[in-house]
Copies of this chain bind each other. A is one copy, B any other.
Amino acid sequence: MTKFVYLFEEGNANMRDLLGGKGAGLAEMTNLGMPVPRGFTITSEACNDYYAKNKSIADNIREEISKSLDTLQEETGKELGNPEKPLLVSVRSGARASMPGMMDTVLNLGLNDQVVEGLASLTDNRRFAYDSYRRFIMMFADVVMEIDKQEFESILDAAKAARGVEADIDLTAEDLEDVTHKSLARYEEIKGEPFPQDPIVQLYEAVEAVFRSWDNPRAQYYRRMNNIPHSWGTAVNVQEMVYGNMGNDSGSGVAFSRSPSIGDNHIYGEFLPNAQGEDVVAGVRTPVDLEKMKEWLPEVYDQFTDLAKRLESHYGDMQDIEFTIEKGKLFLLQTRNGKRTAQAAMKIAVDMYEEGLVSKERALMQINPVSLDTLLHPRFSEEELKKVKPICSGLPASPGAASGSIVFDANEARKQALKGRKVILIRQETSPEDIEGMNLAQGILTARGGMTSHAAVVARGMGKPCITGCSSLLIDEKNKTVTIDGVDYKKGDILSLDGSTGQVYADEIPTVDAEIAGNFETIMEWAKEISKMNVRANADKAEDVAKAIELGAGGVGLTRTEHMFFEKDRIFDFRKMILSKTKEEREEALKVIQPIQESDFEGIFRALNGLPATIRLLDPPLHEFLPKKGAEINELAESMGMKPKDVKKVIKSLQELNPMLGMRGCRLAIIFPEIPRMQTAAIIQAAINVYKEGIPVHPEIMVPLISTVKELHFLRQLISEEADRLIAEAGVDIHYTIGTMIEIPRAALTADEIGKEADFFSFGTNDLTQMGFGLSRDDAGRVLDAYYKQGIFENDPTAVLDQKGVGRMMDIAAREGRAANPNIHLGVCGEHGGEPSSVKFCQKLDFDYVSCSPFRVPIAILSAAQAEIESPREYLSSDLKKYFGRK
């Protein structure tokens, strides 16, 4: 039978999933013989059971709680509700992952009208007893009964006013006794029933309240931001109270075993004499530096630093420890791996390895891959950020921070930027023709679109802050204003964007530059050593490729050839190609474009210096390339000897109701075979030219949007014909491969056929997610908002791979593709390639590589290494079947 309640001495650090981080830590410390107040943990499974049973605690769980309580009473020699030897407990949440401040806590539980008197005489401190009781009443009312705290705060405020004092500390025992009675009366008035005097009733109510708090809105939001599944649940810790507020030989504090901001190997912390832990957190009084404790209670200080170092070395990670000193006796109340900046994380990892405290593997596991983002992008100064309030928020689509004057179109962005102004580009949504303006802007803000919208993908590629799907923007493009929450902002007004949080500010905020610290390279080196999965970059230009390689990329997983066309001087020729009426006209236009592509590819091959490059054939619908404005249309018409009317007709004829599901990808290539023929020629000719310079080349030609093997068969023939001809003519020994995106559900489900025609599969998880969910990234905003609110989505599937549904298609395709072609190479080039949990999933599928935007490469490398450490591939390959439930 499942055990739902564990005494601290029954648990250990490995039972984190069951006991939560706090419970596992308390158990571990208890078993290490460290001074921990006694108690027990109700498991996270009990929480799940609570929700499954329609929010009620099952009888068997009640029984277990009751038994553990008996043991606790025996061990402490105290009893709940017994005024002679009162047991007072705290009831605290504690999930598997740390969720600081998200859930609820009740302290001093066990007090009632009798016990408070007992406590007063036992401690000989009436003031302390009543202060504890009135705090308990308020906390219980707030947490359990959802009564506004203010109802009780106002009673306290009235007492202070009557007494003419400012601080709680200046109230007497009698004052507090009076406040307590008034609070009890207020409680009864609001609830219509007296405050529960039975400590057992108090206990169960508090446990349920903590369970419930797992599902409060801020906890939901936190989980979503941190990819914590609802199904984990929270454990509940019931622990004997200790008091830091019992005089000047008492106090409470928090300390880190190393510096969380820079990583120095010194204990850093703060404490408050004569105070409870809650007072430190609440910020009522200003705590003092831990160093001061050395003078005040030197022995306790030594004991504490010794314990802290022992805990750090025991856990193999920097610890964040809460402690209380009750009448000179030290108690540890919590230990956990400390949160830290990316810089600190890297320094601590490298230092602890060098100090011989951890292996490279454990050192790497200390670092949160996502935190590396902050190293690569400027951010707002923490100090300055405290002074301002956001005016609205959207999706944190691309990290980094920027301030600038707002503009409403890409041309204006370009104009202003060329004058040296810093601009923020605001758009309903961006489109490929905005690329130049985006590149010149400091940051991009859009009203629509999700985490993989055009703006998001392009901005991440540029390493530029971007906030998308900010639905509170009401943009008036004509008058160049945006209304946010009723306030109008005009062109030229200053806004600041924090792309890491999605928040928008109406102030100019100073930024702190990005800097890659010294330990970065060591960490990347270690990660690459351990990881068996390559990390490539999605990069379209030589300079992006160079950046990606600098950041650790082992090749290019996706070059979007269309991005090359959007530059001012090129798009014109490309438009001519689109408007061509005959194959001959089109081929003529393509001849102008070919050398441009060729030289772009040469740049990429040179930058790669022998690393592989997957180059995708033209993908987006042609209408994306056509002009929208009258002047541009006229110019184009004139140069082609067409009437503007006719150009408009062509533009209209290319418009589609659902472009995402229309004439794009390999469909273009099949309808206009001269386009892939030209692109193949450009790729292979570039490869030949660079090869002749003595640089090795590995072109991989990728066909997008395959839904049936026959498409690939047709294009494979066409591509290899052209490529083989050029290679034979040049008389060089170049090897190239031809593969396909797997981004359409049907392609995944027929991979057994497609695998036979493909040298590689690159999973386009963006489209696979869009089509798999039937939800367009561009239109998902409102749906996501509602779905989060209803708990239907825990996160955005375009950002965090949906393993159950989309992942199942990937599993099917990977498995059947490999069966059809044992030499097939598998990788991912969707945006998920830079998201840690998705990268780990790809490792479980035994992929050869993941590919992501250059600035996410370090995240992917570290994630891949962590995946390998968590479940080594040798183990996986034999166990892969079991993992995916295969027969």
Contact = CB atoms under 8 A, between A and B. Distances in A.
A517 B22 CA distance: 80
A657 B659 contact: yes
A658 to B, nearest CB: 4
A749 interface: yes
A872 interface: no
B783 A663 contact: yes
A277 interface: no
Interface in A759-795: 767, 770-776, 778-780, 782-783, 786-787, 790-793
Contact of A792 (B710, B771, B805): B710
Nearest to A806: B746
A710 B786 CA distance: 13
A429 interface: yes
A649 B660 CA distance: 24
Contacts of A770: 661
Interface size class for chain A? Answer: 35 or more
A774 B750 CA distance: 14
A705 interface: yes
A501 interface: no
Contacts of A767: 774
A783 B708 CA distance: 13
Nearest to A474: B649
A429 B657 contact: yes
A844 interface: no
Contacts of A660: 657-658, 661, 774, 776
A787 B670 contact: yes
Contact of A662 (B744, B749, B779, B786): B779
Contacts of A772: 707, 744-746, 749, 771
A804 interface: yes
Given A660-B657, A661-B775, A671 B809 contact: no
B778 A657 contact: yes
Interface string A737-755: 0000001111001100100
A757 to B, nearest CB: 13
A786 B745 contact: no
A711 interface: yes
A326 interface: no
A767 B771 CA distance: 10
A714 interface: yes
Contact of A790 (B670, B744, B750): B670
A708 B783 CA distance: 13
Given A749-B809, A774-B707, A786-B670, A792 B714 contact: yes
A805 B661 contact: no
Interface in A718-747: 743-746
B746 A802 contact: yes
Nearest to A783: B667
A808 interface: yes
A749 B813 CA distance: 13
B778 A656 contact: yes
B707 A663 contact: no
Contact of A745 (B705, B714, B771): B771
Nearest to A448: B657
A689 B661 CA distance: 44
A887 interface: yes
A769 B501 CA distance: 38
A657 B792 contact: no
Given A658-B779, A663-B783, A775-B661, A805 B746 contact: yes
Contacts of A749: 772, 804-805, 808-809
Nearest to A671: B786
B656 A776 contact: yes
A662 B770 CA distance: 10
A368 B797 CA distance: 46
Contacts of A661: 658, 660-661, 770-771, 774-776, 779
A744 B743 CA distance: 15
Contact of A805 (B750, B806, B887): B750
Contacts of A711: 792
Contacts of A659: 657-658, 779
Contact of A804 (B670, B750, B790): B750
A283 to B, nearest CB: 38
Given A671-B783, A802-B746, A806-B746, A657 B776 contact: yes
Interface of A: 429, 474, 649, 656-663, 667, 670-671, 705, 707-708, 710-711, 714, 743-746, 749-750, 753, 767, 770-776, 778-780, 782-783, 786-787, 790-793, 802, 804-806, 808-809, 887
Given A658-B661, A887-B887, 4 more contacts: A658-B660, A743-B774, A746-B802, A749-B805
13 contacts: A474-B649, A658-B779, A660-B774, A661-B776, A662-B775, A670-B790, A670-B792, A671-B786, A707-B773, A745-B805, A746-B772, A746-B806, A771-B774
